[in-house]
Amino acid sequence: MVLRVVLCYKPIIPPLLKMTKLFFKAAVLFIAVYPAISFAQSYQFTASGAKGVANNQAFEIQFYSPNIVRVIKTPVGHAFVTENLSVIKKPVATALKTAKNGDQINLSSSQIKITLNLKSGAIAYLDKNGMPLLREKADGASFKPFDDAGNKTLTVSQSFILDKDEAIYGLGQHQRGNLSQRNQTYKNMMQGNTEDVVPFFQSVKGYGIFWDNYSPTTFSDKPEETLLSSDVGEGIDYYFMYGSNADGVIAQMRDLTGQAPMFPLWTYGFWQSKERYKTQDETVGVLKKYRELGVPIDGIVQDWQYWGNNYLWNSMEFLNVDFSNPQKMMSDIHKMNGHLMISIWSSFGPQTKPYRDMKPKNMLLDFNTWPESGSELWPPKMDYPSGVRPYDVYNPEAREIYWDYLNKGLFKFGIDGWWMDSTEPDHLSFKPTDLDLKTHLGSFRKVRNAYPLMGVGGVYDHQRKVTSDKRVFILTRSAFAGQQRYGANTWSGDITSSWETLQKQIPTGLNFSLSAIPYWNADIGGFFLSKYPRKLEDPEYRELYARWMEFGTFTPLMRSHGADAPREIYQFGKKGDKVYDAAEKYINLRYRLLPYIYSTSWDVTAHQSSMMRALFMDFSADKNVWDIPGEYMFGKSLLVNPVTSSMYTKVAGRDKAEDFGAVKSQETYLPAGRVWYDFWSGQKVAGGKKVSRETPLDIIPLYVKGGSIMPIGPKVQYSSEKNWDNMEIRVYPGADADFTLYEDENDNYNYEKGQYSEIVFHWDDKKGTLTIADRKGAFKGMLTNRTFNLTVAPAGIVTDAGKLKSVSYSGKKVSIKL
């Protein structure tokens, strides 16, 4: 047999709103002299890796960096063309060592080693020391012909072999309550209200896999294999990355798909919302009420229907008569040092201007979305169809039109943030043929899961073009790989109010964060109150709300929201009432923690960190924490164990009643290798065991890692009310510690130009000395002189002033013995 193999590789890079589009085309030509064709193995090393044919499949291995490798496989003779929507990194020159040993080729960078078996085509990955990380299953690549709305393409699959006891995490947001994704199967994953598809997982062994495909995808982990399979693909296309630990893997994924920009300081304060405030006076009045009560708040949210009826759905204009003076509304909110986030959608009603502009240009997707009825009666009258349709976010001109109306209709009033609802989008009355619909980038099926990435990205990119004085802040219901680069926080969707749902939010948020997207939250109190027909009059729900508020304090966004009943703090009583007092306590705690939270957000931006951290991220040597779904680190110092079951509601006769007579307890596992401090009592506890802690309604188990430095800010009514000029610095001994206090102008992009400051604190545990280093950097309005009040392992949030040791700081290094 004579066989000739030619592989062509040609990148084409046109612009797409600052988003790099990479087109890869691999063509394999062959000549065979025998009727029964069988392809011999063939390969060649390239400057970036290798390419060739193995097991009748064309392959290409390309190093994007010493830590990241791209793998492409196709049937021999099949052209491979794809558009990279998530990946924005361009390959960098990487020094490689190559060799051939029998039927195996080897490629090594400074960080990882790769072997490919030329008979089976299977690839194995090892660390630089030769320790196995992951391997493909022999004959694990699969290609099946698929007709995608007239386009002859493939259904593609790849199987891997994992270690028996290996834990893996990620895959986006799925609400099952599990942390490790071993022994899980998610079939035909598509974006949904409470499900966010991110085809990326990472291992406790320190590697990650990003399956770069946007069509409906199945993940299945069984003892014999771990499978990724997608409905549509011109070939198998995935990235292997090695970071040695979870933070390192996330750093590689963000290097590949984009870094997370800074949010404004005020976004980390408390947010009040509900479905929905029906007049501008009501919206402003809620903020005013909080100010009168002296309860801190930074954000108020305006939900839907400020535009009027359903035929005007998402006009992105104030057309409702009850919002007749939006400029006054914004002025009133800003005068109270508040900020407004407003609801916008991915769809338009037939009487809106954007709909009329997009319809003739075929920029609308013809399937049913929310709301289906033009009538606002409930239940909806389906004989009056709304005609609301999602728009084609894949079309750059459509994204331009979207922003143009958003800018002229809303942004001009000074609105501070965008609540991008239904970014999946809602797909009602689903028919499989809906996936055949044509978009700007091919069938809807082909690009289905990238919808939120494109829609959110369009708003971010356009606002950045308009101004750098206001940081983009987007709250969105759905996400895809790479969305962290667009200034977006994802919330967990329209979840029900129940203890079970609350419990599931913790591993849901952790796996989302482990998918390299750092900002996530859940509606405090849950969205639907269907389980509680008495609503806020139900004692069990009031207890649930208090516990949810406590959990929400330790998520990236602290936002109370829901349907069926209002959720403002004053709906739960007044000062002296248990639920009210618990909620107020945690809102105040959130504000005292702002210096810690804002500095952690800088760690996310500058060092690819995560705010919500599964315990294995910091304590992977302790196998006991590999699959603990109910505890996590908030930043790198605080261990949080939210209460997720009812303790103080009992059934009295036929009714439920609050019972605070007996104080209940909850157990917490403290990871080994550290000592820990009870945040509330200051009690020192050894790690590597479970400890029990009393949990009255206003207490959850909260522990500080020994070897931590924590800044505590002043008591305020909003985030920027007071300077951090008289800050408390808490040292928790037990190991050496470092903390970087980050400060900037709070709400612009000057930090990207280097206009910020860092103050590094170092604790020498053996010497008992705290050193405050020379300040690095400067920005307009920076404090040049300040006082730090130092204390060791205090109890509670309010410290005895007599225990504080004050030191004046003017930006020069100082050391203090504690």
Q: Give a yes or no: residue 109 inside a domain.
A: yes
Q: What are phi and psi of 478, to 5 degrees?
A: -145, 160
Selected catalytic residue, list 195, 392, 494, 540: 494
- Say if residue 37's pLDDT is above 50: no
Q: How far apart are CA 403 and CA 783, in angstroms?
A: 38
pTM for the model stands at 0.95
Most confident option among 32-36, 42-46, 651-655: 42-46
Least confident of 8-17, 165-174, 283-292, 722-731: 8-17
- Say if residue 14's pLDDT is above 50: no
Instruction: Give me the DSSP letters along 47-63.
Output: SSEEEEEETTEEEEEEE
Rounded to an integer, the average pLDDT of 281-294 is: 98
CATH of the domain at 725: 2.60.40.1180
pLDDT tens profile 132-162: 999 999 999 999 999 999 999 999 999 999 9
Among 257, 281, 300, the domain-final residue is 257
pLDDT at 27: 35
3-state secondary structure 696-765: CCCCCCEEEECCEEEEECCCCCCCCCCCCCEEEEEEECCCCEEEEEEECCCCCCHHHHCCCEEEEEEEEC
Q: Note the Cα 200 to chain centre separation in Å.
A: 13
Compute the Cα dihedral for 600, 606, 612, 614 and give only its sign. negative
- What distance, in Å, lies between the first and last C-alpha atoms of the chain? 81
- Is 290 in the same domain as 245? no
Q: What percent of the chain has pLDDT over 70?
A: 95
CATH of the domain at 242: 2.60.40.1760
- Is 407 in the same domain as 484? yes
Q: Give a yes or no: residue 1 inside a domain.
A: no
- Is 308 in the same domain as 199? no
pLDDT tens profile 328-354: 999 999 999 999 999 999 999 999 999
- Is 285 in the same domain as 190? no
pLDDT grade, residue 377 (50/70/90)? confident
424 assigned to active site: yes
Least confident of 37-46, 106-115, 512-521, 670-679: 37-46
- Is 232 in the same domain as 316? no
Among 224, 257, 290, the domain-final residue is 257
Residues near 83 by Cβ (< 8 Å), separated by ≥ 6?
Answer: 21, 22, 23, 441
Among 257, 275, 308, the domain-final residue is 257
- Our count of domains for the chain comes to 3
pLDDT at 21: 36
- Say if residue 2's pLDDT is above 70: no
- Say if residue 440's pLDDT is above 50: yes
Q: Give a yes or no: residue 487 inside a domain.
A: yes
- Is 723 in the same domain as 809? yes
CATH of the domain at 291: 3.20.20.80
Q: Residue 14 class from Cβ within 10 Å (0-12 exposed, 13-18 middle, 19+ buried)? A: exposed
- Is 238 in the same domain as 270? no
- Is 245 in the same domain as 270? no
Q: How far apart are CA 113 and CA 350, in angstroms?
A: 56
Q: What are phi and psi of 415, to 5 degrees?
A: -60, 140
Mean pLDDT of the chain: 94
| Residue 800 lies in domain | 708-817
pLDDT at 8: 34
pLDDT at 654: 76
**DSSP one-letter code for 553:** T
- Say if residue 16's pLDDT is above 80: no
pLDDT grade, residue 13 (50/70/90)? very low
pLDDT tens profile 195-236: 999 999 999 999 999 999 999 999 999 999 999 999 999 999
179: tokens are 């942390």
115: tokens are 């072997």
Q: Go through 515-551 and write b for each residue having 16 or more CB atoms within 10 A of its CB, e for each that does not.
A: bbbbbbbbbbbbbbbebbeeebebbbbbbbbbbbbbb
pLDDT at 17: 35
Least confident of 35-44, 407-416, 534-543, 689-698: 35-44
Residue 509's SS3 state is helix
pLDDT grade, residue 107 (50/70/90)? very high
- Is 768 in the same domain as 802? yes
- Is 84 in the same domain as 132? yes
pLDDT grade, residue 25 (50/70/90)? very low
494 assigned to active site: yes
pLDDT grade, residue 240 (50/70/90)? very high
Q: Give a yes or no: residue 496 inside a domain.
A: no
Q: Give a yes or no: residue 621 inside a domain.
A: no
pLDDT tens profile 657-680: 999 988 999 999 999 999 999 999
Q: Give a yes or no: residue 389 inside a domain.
A: yes
- Is 739 in the same domain as 803? yes
Q: How far apart are CA 58 and CA 40, in angstroms?
A: 11
pLDDT at 799: 85
711: tokens are 């800044």
Q: Give a yes or no: residue 608 inside a domain.
A: no
Selected catalytic residue, list 136, 196, 303, 421: 421
Pairing between strand 49-54 and 665-670? unpaired
Selected catalytic residue, list 221, 275, 424, 550: 424
Rounded to an integer, the average pLDDT of 498-505 is: 98
pLDDT grade, residue 40 (50/70/90)? low
- Is 272 in the same domain as 332? yes
Q: Give a yes or no: residue 595 inside a domain.
A: no
Compute the Cα dihedral for 86, 168, 614, 742 and give only its sign. negative
154 DSSP β-pair partners:
145, 233
